[in-house]
Amino acid sequence: MATEEPAVSVWTRPQRRRDQPALSRAQIVTAALELLDSAGLDALSMRTLGARLGAGATSLYRHVANKDELLELVVDEVYGEIEVPAVQHGDWRRAVTTCAESARAVLLRHAWIASVLGQTGLSYLGPNVMRLNEQMLALFETAGFSLAEADPALSAVMAYVIGTATTEAAWLTTVDRSGRSEQECIDQLRSALTEATKPYPRLHTLATGENDGAEKARGDGFHYGLDRMLDGLATRLARR
C-alpha cells in the first residue's frame, strides 16, 4: 500500500543551515519583489534574480528549492502589507472596510500577484497570511459572529476583494502596456462602446452617461459591492 507523501512547502520544510550565508532569505525576497513589481512575473527566474543580487542561482537554492517556493515567500511578504485595524466603539463594518481597502490597494500595487494567487502551493501557510486571517477572524468575533461563522464571512469578503482587485489589476496592466493614461484608454474606447450599445437601450444609456473619471468609477464600484456584502452580513448578525 502506497504511503501518502506529506505536502511540501517552504513554510514546513526546515531551512537549510549554512555558516555566514552570502544572502539572507529577506534579501532574496526583497529583490524578487522589486523585480516582480518592475518587470512582471515573466521576468522572474532564479538565474535572473541571482544576477540581480550579484550571486549565482546556487546561492538562492540554499533558501528555496525552486521558483514556486520563492513565490510562496514573496506572496506572504505582500500579504504583510495589508492593514487590519482594531474595532473602534463596536464599528466592525468600518474595520472590515479599512482592511478590504488596504487589501485592494496592496493587490493593485503588486499587479502581478493576481496571476499567481491560488497557484503558489501552500503559500497560505506563511506567517503574514496566518496573522491576517487570525486578526480578521477576531474582528468578526468581536462583531458578534461565532468562530464557525466568522470563517465563511471572512472568506466571502476576501473572495470579493481579490476577485475585484484581480479584474482591476488586469485592466491596469493593459493600460500600462498601452503607454496611455487610464482615462485616455477609456476615452478611446468610448466611441466604439457607444456605437456597439445602440441596439441595447440600457447599456447605451450607461455608456453615454456622465463620466466622473475612470479611477473614481473603479473605486465607487468596489465600495458599492463591498457595502452590499457588509449589508448582508449585518442583516445576518441582527438575526442571531
For the stretch 184-239, pLDDT in tens is: 998 888 889 999 999 999 999 998 887 778 899 999 999 999 999 999 999 999 98
Q: What pLDDT sits at residue 88? A: 81
Q: Are 173 and 111 contacting, i.e. CB atoms less than 8 angstroms apart?
A: yes
Q: What angle do CA 92, 95, 101 make, to 5 degrees?
A: 140
Say if residue 20's pLDDT is above 70: no
Where residue 57 falls among pLDDT bands split at 50, 70, 90? confident
- Maximum alpha-carbon separation in the chain: 71
Average pLDDT, the chain: 88
Local confidence band at 4 (pLDDT 50, 70, 90 cut-offs):
low
pLDDT, residue 158, reads 94
Res 154 pLDDT > 90 = yes
Q: What does the angle CA 15 – CA 63 – CA 26 come to, to the nearest 5 degrees?
A: 100
CB atoms < 10 A from the CB of 171, how many?
15
- Local confidence band at 85 (pLDDT 50, 70, 90 cut-offs): very high
Return left, alpha or beta for 166; rule: phi > 0 is left, psi -120 to 50 is alpha, else beta: alpha
pLDDT score, position 55: 85
Q: In this predicted structure, what is the pLDDT of residue 141? A: 95
Q: How far is CA 4 from CA 1, 8, 160, 169, in A?
A: 9, 12, 35, 38
| pLDDT exceeds 70 at position 51 | yes
Domains located in the chain, CATH noted: 82-239 (1.10.357.10)
Cβ atoms of 211 and 115 within 8 Å: the answer is no
Render pLDDT for 22-42 as a digit per residue (tens, 0 to 9). 788 999 999 999 999 999 999
CA separation for the pair 183, 98 (Å, rounded): 26
10 CB-contact burial (10 Å; exposed 0-12 / middle 13-18 / buried 19+): buried
**What are the backbone dihedrals phi and psi of residue 120, each rounded to the nearest 5 degrees, phi first?**
-115, 50
